[in-house]
Structure 1
Amino acid sequence: MYIPDYFKVDNIEEISHFVQKNSFGTVVTTVQGKPIATHLPMQLSKIADDYFITGHLSYGNPQWKTFDTCDEVLVMFQGPHAYISSSWYEGENVPTWNYQSVHVYGEVSILDKEELKEDLTMLLQKYEKHREEPVLWDRLSNSLLEKQLNGIVGFKIKIQEIQAAYKLSQNRNKKDYTNIIDKLNEEEDFNSHKIAEVMSKRNS
């Protein structure tokens, strides 16, 4: 991913927080030179000094069969993004787009059954624990769980490289930056409001 110095993010804790918050990502592999992709909820974890991305695919999805032949896979995580009109600048310029994006490269392997159970338990815990009647792993019947386990393939990606870009008008002067935030908040668009929120927090 091309990242100008203005927009490059290196802080691993900040990147980890971003991935955990925007964990519905895209896994990209290749088969005979052709890229293929699947959109999935994934998790980031740290074991010793290594970081891993975990998730699962439907058994019927042929992409998991490419894991054995790919030396490296790409996972992309996308945050909020919004159009930036150059009419919001003090001087003449062209429009652009603000966004947050993280690319992760790594070596992938298939989870064994116990590893997959552990990963699914954590996934349910993350998205269900705050609900009034949470659907947690130990509350589901063994017959249902076994049936579902037979229909999916878990994977683990050992992260070897991270590229993170937060294009948030850091290259604009203070007056333009503040005006962009105000104008984004006037837009009738959820992503525009989220980008404005991110920019405001980074400016505080």
Structure 2
Amino acid sequence: MYLPKQFHHPDPAIAQRIMREHPLASIVSVGEDGFAVLSHIPMHWQAASLWADGLQSEHGVLLGHCARANPQAQLLAAQPQALVSFMGPQAYMSPGVYAEKQRVPTLSYLAVQAKVMTRIIDPHEDRDRLLKCLIAEHEPAYAQQWRELPATYTGAMLNGIVAFEMQITELRCAVKLNQHRPEAHTAMHAAYAQGSEQAQALARWMKDLGLVA
């Protein structure tokens, strides 16, 4: 992604937070015709592989699954390298936050882009283990219900998906919050704090990153 140096955030903890708080990712592979194939899939970031012999990475791994009928599944099996993108909060920024008139509107946002190498998780027990990890992330209370469902049902559900673990080989994090214009931070934060849900999320990020007191 295009990433001007003033918006590149080098702290991996920030990228990890974005991936955890905004798990619906865009996975991009290259199709047989050379055109991009994209799927929106919930992903779970964690520091290390679920498996002792699994993928290891200084940037962590991503766990996910998609419908077996999804062409992305076949592409990931044949071409393990892919691109995964996470979009954090985003909101319009008015030029009214500046004292000067010669300014233009823009959009503030947080985003993460990860290059990955994919490992397909095929054994039934391993797919079940991966699903339980995702359940623990999103709704721990559902784990008991899943365990109590008939094996015929859970087996059919597991057979209908392709599960995968992705080693992150490269991680880039964009934090576009007008860092290079500190004179506008107070007005910008005040505007976002009174705005939409996403704008308010950006206001919180500005505080967390120390852009405003």
TM-score, normalised with respect to structure 2: 0.87
Distance 1:98 1:158, change over 3 A: same
| Aligned counterpart, 2:199 | 192
Aligned length: 198
Deviations 1:75-106 (A, max 9, x none): 00010000101121111211111000000001
Closer/same/farther in 2, CA of residues 151 and 68 from structure 1, 3 Å limit: closer
Runs of 4+ in 1 over 3 A off after TM superposition: none
Aligned Cα RMSD in Å? Answer: 1.6
Q: Report the equivalent of 1:165.
A: 174
Out of 148, 152, 155, the position equivalent to 2:161 is 152
In structure 2, what is the Cα distance between the partners aligned to 1:73 and 1:56?
14
Per the alignment, residue 71 of structure 2 pairs with 62
Q: Which residue of 1 aligns with 2:15?
A: 15
State the 1:180 CA deviation: 0.5
Structure 2 unaligned spans of 5+: 50-55
Distance in 1, Cα, partners of 2:163 & 2:151: 18
Match of 2:134 among 123, 132, 148: 123
Q: Measure, in 1, the Cα distance between the counterparts of 2:65 and 2:77.
A: 15
Cα shift at 1:62: 1.4
Aligned-pair distance for 1:152? Answer: 0.5
Per the alignment, residue 208 of structure 2 pairs with 201
* CA apart distance, 1:71: 5.2
* Counterpart secondary structure, 1:2: coil
- Inter-partner Cα distance in structure 2 for 1:140 and 1:200: 45
Structure 1 portions without partners, runs of 5+: none
Q: Which amino acid aligns with 1:142?
A: A
1:67-146 correspondence runs (5 A): 67-70=76-79, 72-91=81-100, 92-113=102-123, 114-129=125-140, 134-136=141-143, 137-146=146-155
Kindly provide the amino acid, as one letter, of the partner of residue 5 in structure 1: K
Alpha-carbon distance between aligned partners in 1 of 2:209 and 2:48, rounded to the nearest angstrom: 29
Which residue is equivalent to 2:53?
Answer: none
Counterpart amino acid of residue 185 in structure 2: Y
Q: TM-score, normalised on structure 1?
A: 0.90
Report the secondary structure of 1:68's partner residue: helix
